[in-house]
Amino acid sequence: MVEMTNIDEQESPTRRRYRGASPAERVAQRRVRLIEAALSLYGTAGYATTPVKAVCVEAGLTERYFYESFANREELFAALYQHIVEEMGNLMVDAMAKVPEETEIRARILLDTYFGKIANDPVFARVLLLEVLGVSELVHQAYRDAMQRFTDVVQRHVLPPFAEPDHSPENIVAAGLVGAIVHVAMRWVISDFARPQADVVDGLMTIFRAVAAQRPAL
């Protein structure tokens, strides 16, 4: 069995790229490696069965480097979750920025981007939708924050123009749309993508159209 100290001290192109970096940069780079390792393991073996040591081995680091960035596994998961939520949010917003400000068009682009990422990256999808549930209160708060961010994206970019997200009644509608999207996505992942992505998106577009049809004229 290879000792962890040997893993961390091995010479390789991956290790050499850290030479010349400041101590703060090295800490940041190690943190990224731990998050990437956590994504790989939590998205395959699962969070519950993956100890800190396994994440460190995957990252090629000793456990002392884990604890320079995270107090425990829950902090690592929260950091990972915030990272993938930001990635998903940026993907959707960037995609919608390239199309006209019309509900029908933007809703489809949002759904195609969201479900496309899930279909093309099942490891990412498992962490985003399944592994996050029931970890701890810290992670649950990250999940609640993610749902609010998704709701704000839908309200601001698919159903504009409205008042402030936290005070307008339309935020309830946006939250309902997000709830439908996430629930359908969870079931789709659990079913191992049994239905074609196009069918899933078309089904949710029916809900978007119904909402758009009921909105009062502005």
- Examine domains 4-70 and 74-214 and report if their fold is the same: no
Q: What does the alpha-carbon distance between residue 5 and residue 139 come to, in Å, rounded to a whole number?
A: 30
pTM: 0.84
Q: Where are the domains of the chain?
A: 4-70, 74-214
Is it the case that residue 14 has pLDDT exceeding 90?
no
pLDDT band at 13 (very low <50, low <70, confident <90, very high): very low
In whole angstroms, what is the distance from residue 197 CA to residue 218 CA? 33
Percent of the chain, pLDDT > 90? Answer: 71
Say if domain 4-70 classifies as CATH 1.25.40. Answer: no
With the C-alpha atoms ordered 206, 207, 210, 215, is the resulting torsion angle positive or negative? negative
pLDDT grade for 218, boundaries at 50, 70 and 90 = very low
Yes or no: domain 74-214 corresponds to CATH 1.10.357.10: yes
pLDDT tens sequence across 143-176: 999 999 999 999 889 986 544 455 565 688 899 9
**pLDDT tens digits along 109-148:** 999 999 999 999 999 999 999 999 988 889 999 999 999 9
Which amino acid, one-letter code, is at 167? H
